[in-house]
Amino acid sequence: MTLVPVALGDRSYDILIEAGAIDRAAALLAPWQRGGRWIVVTEENVYRHQFGRLQAALSAAGVPIEPIVLPPGEGTKNWDILRSLTERLLALEVERSESIVALGGGVIGDLVGFAASIVKRGCDFVQIPTTLLSQVDSSVGGKTAINSAHGKNLVGAFHQPRFVLIDPTVLDTLPRREVAAGYAEVVKYGLLGDFDFYQWCETNAAALLGGDPDARAYAIEMSVRAKARIVAADERETADHRALLNLGHTFGHALEAETGYSDRLLHGEAVAAGMALAFRYSARRGLCEAQDAGRVAAHLRAAGLPQGLADAGVAASGAVLAGHMAHDKKKSGGRVPFILARGIGNAFVDKQVALADVADFLDTEPR
Ligand SMILES: NC(=O)c1ccc[n+]([C@@H]2O[C@H](COP(=O)([O-])OP(=O)(O)OC[C@H]3O[C@@H](n4cnc5c(N)ncnc54)[C@H](O)[C@@H]3O)[C@@H](O)[C@H]2O)c1
Ligand SMILES: O=C(O)C(=O)C[C@@H](O)[C@H](O)[C@H](O)COP(=O)(O)O
Ligand SMILES: [Zn+2]
């Protein structure tokens, strides 16, 4: 068992990583058991593949479960489902101290975390992430949100979970495409600040994508440790530090908007293309070597991930994509900061980027 602390004063919590942890959930979650029951929010695919394991573990301890099963997919992060979920939680007379369980990928974690942040002005919740992406990224750090007609994650709150239980064995039922999408956020940690880890990713990508337990456990632990460090240093993204976790996301969110938040392009896939674009744009600006940009693109392509607009299936013009970027929530003083790179493992926040220049650059990219 590995415990990674997220140091946030009175909002501190642990991330537990252990193969088979879900089967011991009754004991592991016991400190957060308050209401004499567990409200477990999940979605249909996770219900089919993994809910039974959690149910078996929790009911063996004699604590009843109140399941709430939502539709799967990015479209679930919307106002209508948020409203019905909050009404359902209120109908169940959820108490603030009664930790709601978010069992699922980033969609469930973001939605349930946001619902928990507003119901009764803030209820406790715990995360049991079931995708690689949610295990390495979204379950940690307390960013919660739904999407708006204006863009990705534009309505949300910072609301930290009380505990994160990561069981890598739940990934055994995850489709290969989803594993690759999660891998994009793993590579992100190397690209933004850890060249050695980036090299480890290049060497071990095939093993990790193939489900090798050792590679998987190492990637999860390294990712979670990196994220916990960054979040502890800059919880609310006010110090140009947490913003580094947005590497590839300003481009990526525009691609997601353009593809309608559909399974045409998964979040991790959009981030992969976005990171390759961020490196190519950095090279065009003379900030990093073109060779680095090429190396990143080749790595992502070999992992089965898109590395540009053509792979992402996006034909929109630079101006249209820049129009999406203008809604980025990091925008300040009319400028959208971009996470660019001086090299692999050396990302930084550039607040002087002109969107028109990004649009010009995107127009040079193959469609
Ligand atoms: N809050 C954050 O810090 C943060 C970080 C990264 C991403 N995100 C958000 O996370 C979301 C993407 O998360 P995701 O990639 O986990 O997507 P997801 O939650 O949609 O899950 C991906 C797919 O896998 C299925 N699934 C989940 N677990 C499974 C399992 N164990 N076995 C079989 N199928 C399973 C789901 O039904 C879905 O079809 C995006 O909305 C993104 O914006 C948030
Ligand atoms: O935790 C963070 O901070 C991140 O930026 C992680 C990202 O992978 C994630 O997609 C996040 O939701 C993007 O943040 P947003 O503030 O741009 O919505
Ligand atoms: Zn992301």
Q: What is the CATH number of the domain that holds 85?
A: 3.40.50.1970
Residue 54 sits in the same domain as residue 149 = yes
Residue 108 sits in the same domain as residue 217 = no
Mean pLDDT of 228-251: 97
C-alpha 328/C-alpha 351 separation (Å) is 13
Categorize the per-residue pLDDT at 66 as very low, low, confident or very high, splitting at 50, 70 and 90.
Answer: very high
Residue 134 sits in the same domain as residue 216 = no
Which domain covers residue 360, as residue numbers? 176-364
CATH number of 308's domain: 1.20.1090.10
Residue nearest to atom 13 of ligand 1 (CA): 106
Whether pLDDT at 34 is above 90: no
Residue 198 sits in the same domain as residue 97 = no
Mean pLDDT of 8-25: 98
CA 291 vs CA 124, 269, 288, 297, 348: distances in Å: 47, 22, 8, 10, 19
CA 360 vs CA 339, 350, 354: distances in Å: 18, 17, 10
Query: Is the CB of residue 143 less than 8 Å from the CB of residue 93?
Result: no
263's CB contacts (< 8 A; 6+ apart) are 73, 74
Q: How many angstroms does the Cα of residue 94 sit away from the middle of ligand 2?
A: 28
Sign of CA dihedral 258, 263, 265, 268: positive
* Domain tally, the chain: 2
Q: Which of 129, 144, 172 is the last residue of a domain?
A: 172
Residue 22 sits in the same domain as residue 58 = yes
249, 280, 299, 324: which is the annotated catalytic residue? 249
Residue 309 sits in the same domain as residue 162 = no
pLDDT score recorded for residue 201: 98
Q: What pTM was estimated for this model as a whole?
A: 0.98
Categorize the per-residue pLDDT at 168 as very low, low, confident or very high, splitting at 50, 70 and 90.
Answer: very high
Q: How many angstroms does the Cα of residue 143 sit away from the middle of ligand 2?
A: 7
Q: Is 169 annotated as a binding residue?
A: no
Burial 239-272 (b: 16+ CB within 10 A, else e): eebbbbbbbbbbbbbbbbbbbebeeebbbbbbbb
63-67 — which CB contacts under 8 Å span 24+ positions? 63/26, 63/33, 63/36, 63/37, 63/38, 64/36, 64/37, 64/38, 65/37, 65/38, 65/39, 65/40, 66/37, 66/38, 66/39, 66/40, 66/92, 67/40, 67/41, 67/42
Q: Is 249 annotated as a binding residue?
A: yes
Whether pLDDT at 60 is above 90: no
Q: How many angstroms does the Cα of residue 64 sit away from the middle of ligand 2?
A: 34
Residue 24 sits in the same domain as residue 149 = yes
Residue 184 sits in the same domain as residue 103 = no
Mean pLDDT of 46-62: 95
Q: Which of 172, 192, 212 is the last residue of a domain?
A: 172
What is the SS3 assignment for 236-296? CCCCCCHHHHHCCHHHHHHHHHHCCCCCCCCHHHHHHHHHHHHHHHHHHCCCCCHHHHHHH
| pLDDT tens for each residue of 189-237 | 999 999 999 999 999 999 999 999 999 999 999 999 999 999 999 999 9
pLDDT score recorded for residue 35: 81
C-alpha 76/C-alpha 365 separation (Å) is 32
| Residue 130 CB–ligand 2 contact under 6 Å | no
18, 235, 237, 256: which is the annotated catalytic residue? 237
Q: What is the mean pLDDT of the chain?
A: 97
Q: Which of 172, 200, 218 is the last residue of a domain?
A: 172
**Closest ligand 2 atom to the C-alpha of 110?**
12
Residue 153 sits in the same domain as residue 242 = no
pLDDT score recorded for residue 304: 98
Residue 156 sits in the same domain as residue 186 = no
Mean pLDDT of 179-191: 98
* Whether the complex's predicted ipTM surpasses the cut of 0.95: yes
Residue 111 sits in the same domain as residue 219 = no
Residue nearest to atom 17 of ligand 2 (CA): 246
Query: Is the CB of residue 138 less than 8 Å from the CB of residue 107?
Result: no
Q: Is 130 annotated as a binding residue?
A: yes
Residue nearest to atom 6 of ligand 2 (CA): 245
Residue 41 sits in the same domain as residue 87 = yes
| pLDDT tens for each residue of 67-81 | 999 999 999 999 999
| Residue 237 CB–ligand 1 contact under 6 Å | no
Q: How many angstroms does the Cα of residue 178 sit away from the middle of ligand 3?
A: 13
| pLDDT tens for each residue of 283-306 | 999 999 999 999 999 999 999 999
Q: Is 110 annotated as a binding residue?
A: yes
